[in-house]
Amino acid sequence: MRNINNITSEKKKVPESKRQFCSFQMAGHYFGVDILDVKEIIDEVVLTKIHHAPIEMLGFVNIRGHVHLVLDLRLLLNFSTKPIDESSRVLLFHPNVGESFGVMVDQIGHMIEVEESLIEYRVSEENISGIARDFRKSDLEKGVCKLKNKLLIILDASKFLNAVDLKR
């Protein structure tokens, strides 16, 4: 009998019911991306600016011999831009999200592990016409996670590059 109970409890702890997010702060708001999309966090950044590129593209960065594109997530989320300071970090994403790129964030937070039930995904609105959709970057937001005393906005990393393209 005990064994059976133990098995059921282990089943409850199955990783699929939990998700991990890499949280960060931007202009006083809490955001998070799926930890499986993140490849690495970099603190010392030497940016090489790209001329004639959209202003969302901050430049290239060389990480251990590999060149990555860095986007300004503030501009993508329609905040005003902000100069790079001590707490600024670059999140690099996995190649399966998009071809070797990262985003600049204001401040990095903790890794958060939450129950799947606490996440509310936003319902995609099919009725909105294509042109209206172009000007909205709200597609970047996948949903909202309810934490103890605040809300965490979950962003979809795979939409970041597309957002830049659409803007162009």
Binding site for another protein (CB under 8 A): 15, 20, 22, 35-36, 38-43, 89, 94, 108, 110-111
42 versus 166: smaller Cβ distance to another protein = 42
Q: Report how far residue 101's alpha carbon sits from residue 56's, in angstroms, rounded to the nearest whole number.
A: 13
| Smallest separation (angstroms) from another protein to the CB of 69 | 19
CA angle (96, 102, 106) in 5-degree steps = 140
CB of 80 to another protein, least distance (A): 26
**Dihedrals φ, ψ of 50, to 5°?**
-105, 125
Minimum distance from CB of 164 to another protein (Å)? 24
| Residue 113: how many other CB atoms lie within 10 Å | 11
Angle 149-154-159 from CA coordinates, rounded to 5°: 165
Q: How far is the CB of 88 from another protein (least distance, A)?
A: 12
Closer residue to another protein, CB minimum distance, 40 or 120: 40
Nearer to another protein, 82 or 94 (CB): 94
- Which amino acid, one-letter code, is at 116? E
Token readout for 123 is 């319902």
Task: Pick the closer one to another protein by CB: 6 or 78.
Answer: 6
